[in-house]
A = this chain, B = another copy of it.
């Protein structure tokens, strides 16, 4: 049933869930596709289409029961569990991500931080002690890591990536500005902080010219 779900659909499901949780807190218990669409910047038809890919969660004439739909979405998105995350790279980006509370709130728990700089190894970050990247295999296995966030320099990526994949990690969030080559059963999401600014730059240049 769940084939060919587009990235855009998944992104919107996340938005829906976020709004549902916000609205639930206010005490409303039902929401129409129209309302949900308004709050997430899409159309009612799109909301219904997205949800219909996974089942029939609404009541005609009424809308969607908020707690139920939220729970369905959490299950669909795999957010009904805790994901064990390792941060590989303890530099500026790494430490900002570590301190960012939004991950934990959604069930992504950073259980290990690794760095190549031996002067950093042994530092305590909250509950986590920084490990040497040389011990990557040991740490990822011992901590049962599901997802790795790569915030290392581009030149270290190929070696580290191979080792991460070899140890069985199948989800990678990549902050390094390189094209990652991985086996088919490994999922990579790239985050590129400059890319969005470049898209802005493009948009601003376009409108200015006309």
Contacts and interface: CB of A to CB of B under 8 A. Distances in A.
Given A77-B205, A146-B204, A147-B200, A97 B193 contact: yes
A99 interface: yes
Contact of A96 (B95, B106, B107): B95
In the assembly, how many copies of this chain are there?
A: 2
A78 B203 CA distance: 8
B206 A2 contact: yes
A179 B40 CA distance: 7
A40 B181 CA distance: 11
Nearest to A85: B197
Interface stretch (A23-31, A61-69, A118-126, A169-177): A169-177
A194 interface: yes
A18 interface: yes
Contacts of A193: 97, 100, 102-103, 191
Interface residues of A, number: 57
Contacts of A107: 201
Contact of A196 (B179, B185, B191): B191
Given A41-B179, A179-B39, A179-B40, A194 B106 contact: yes
A196 B207 contact: no
Interface in A9-24: 10-11, 13-15, 18
A95 B5 CA distance: 36
A142 interface: no
Interface of A: 2, 5, 7, 10-11, 13-15, 18, 39-41, 76-79, 83, 85, 92-93, 95-97, 99-100, 102-103, 106-108, 146-147, 170-173, 177, 179, 185, 187, 189, 191, 193-207
